Amino acid sequence: MIDISEGIELFNKADFFSTHDFFEECWIESDREERFFFQGMVQVSVGCYHLISGNFRGSLNQLKKGTKKLRSYLPSNRNIDLENLVNFIEPIIQELNDFISEQNQQKFWNKIPKIKLND
């Protein structure tokens, strides 16, 4: 069995880039039954990295994909309280969704050109 304590420590230190690399290596080495678990952990890590980097669309996309995969392992896997993790991420997903929706509607509103007539 793969020891994931290093990945958990990296995640909890908010070193999401290294966390991604760690769980990606676990995913490569994992058996079929845990493949989606490790993919979910990779995607949640990438989503958190994008979130702190200001890539809100990328964050939303990865967090959605990751939590979808992790739900298959609820309430826990490998002693990780996945229910808590997913429940913590869900409001972030909603907030990102709302933020992106608001931004899309208003982003170019002030840039729309006006048609002028020649005198």
The total number of structural domains that make up the chain: 1
Q: Is residue 101 part of a domain?
A: no
| ∠ Cα 30 34 38 (to 5°) | 80
Spatial CA neighbour of 20 closest among 46, 54, 38 = 46
Q: Is residue 119 part of a domain?
A: no
pTM of the predicted model as reported, rounded to 2 decimal places:
0.85
Identify the domain containing residue 44 by its residue range. 5-94
Q: Is the pLDDT of residue 116 over 60?
A: yes
Q: Is residue 67 part of a domain?
A: yes
- The beta strands (E) that lie in the chain are given as 76-77, 80-81
Mapped onto helix, strand or coil, the DSSP state of residue 117 is coil
Task: Name the CA dihedral angle for 57, 62, 64, 69, rounded to a multiple of 10 degrees.
Answer: 170
Q: The domain spanning residue 55 has which CATH number? A: 1.10.3450.10
Q: Is residue 114 part of a domain?
A: no
Dihedral class, residue 81 (left if φ above 0, else alpha if ψ from -120 to 50, else beta): beta
Spatial CA neighbour of 29 closest among 2, 63, 60 = 2
Digit-coded pLDDT (tens) for 18-76: 999 999 999 999 999 999 999 999 999 999 999 999 999 999 999 999 999 999 999 99
pLDDT score recorded for residue 107: 61
Q: Is residue 80 part of a domain?
A: yes
